[in-house]
Amino acid sequence: MGLFEGKKGLILGIANPFSIAWAITQKLHEQGAEMAFNHLPDRDKPKNEKKLRKLVEPLGAELIVPCDVCDDSQIETLIDRTAEKFGKIDFLLHSIAFAHPDDLTGPTYACSRRGFLQAMEISAYSLLAVAGAAKKKDLLADECSILTLSYFGGEEVIPGYNLMGICKAALECSVRYLAAELGPDGTRVNAISAGPLKTVSAQGVGEFQLMLDLYEGVSPMRKNISMDEVGNTGMFMLSGLSTGISAEVVHLDKGFSKMGAPPHDFINKLRSEG
């Protein structure tokens, strides 16, 4: 019997098969989870819906709903339809972030006011909005787990991550406040701070290949994480195996974030190549 047999959840933000959310979703499916999904509404042709359906219908998707998290009425509709289908949910995965390339690739001091507000609304406020709507609707079951996705650039300066680092800092703080406020009702709220992975969104980060090389050379295990590892960790954080964990940002980076300085072999390699 799988860890998620009889468990129901809502997955937000899958856009393609290369995303962290998709890796976690596959692990949830393997463990018997029943899931509902959202996609960004289509204006003309059902492009976003078709891409999502191609991925999740083979997993037996219970519900697929268009939802733009910048629109409160669409969030309310998503929550209402999920409640109609499942009654309550045992887990919620939030994997939504966006910054316009013009605001992301330049220095943070040069980002536009409009771009800053948009990036914050989508990347950080959306977690508060969805959690609040779910709470209002009484959608969250006892011992419900909410999980979002962050990155180390929200804690320390990572060149190239720029505006998104500021958004992730806000997201991680939101995790702590939500955990404190929803905890009395039994809901846990956490984040995974995964190391760099070759996702579509990562391609918008400047010098991404250098980031991969740095993690491989500096992390205690001298390697990068895999999608399989982040999928397993996400599944664990949403499962009943992690009921003692809340208000945490779990670093899944082979120990990179705990290194105060590069190891000697990495420095020697740079010297030899220089």
Catalytic residue among 109, 125, 161, 177: 161
Distances, alpha carbon 220 to alpha carbons 34, 135, 223, in Å = 37, 40, 8
Catalytic residue among 125, 151, 177, 215: 151
What sign does the CA torsion over 262, 264, 265, 269 have?
positive
- Residue 93's nearest CA partner among 13, 19, 198, 152 is 13
Which pair of structure tokens corresponds to residue 82?
A: 């999920």
How many whole angstroms separate alpha carbon 41 and alpha carbon 48? Answer: 7
Question: In whole angstroms, how large is the CA radius of gyration of the chain?
Answer: 19
- Tell me if 54 sits within 8 A of 15, measured CB to CB: no
Active site residue 161: yes
DSSP 8-class letter at 198? -
Active site residue 177: no
How many whole angstroms separate alpha carbon 57 and alpha carbon 195? Answer: 29
Catalytic residue IDs: 151, 161
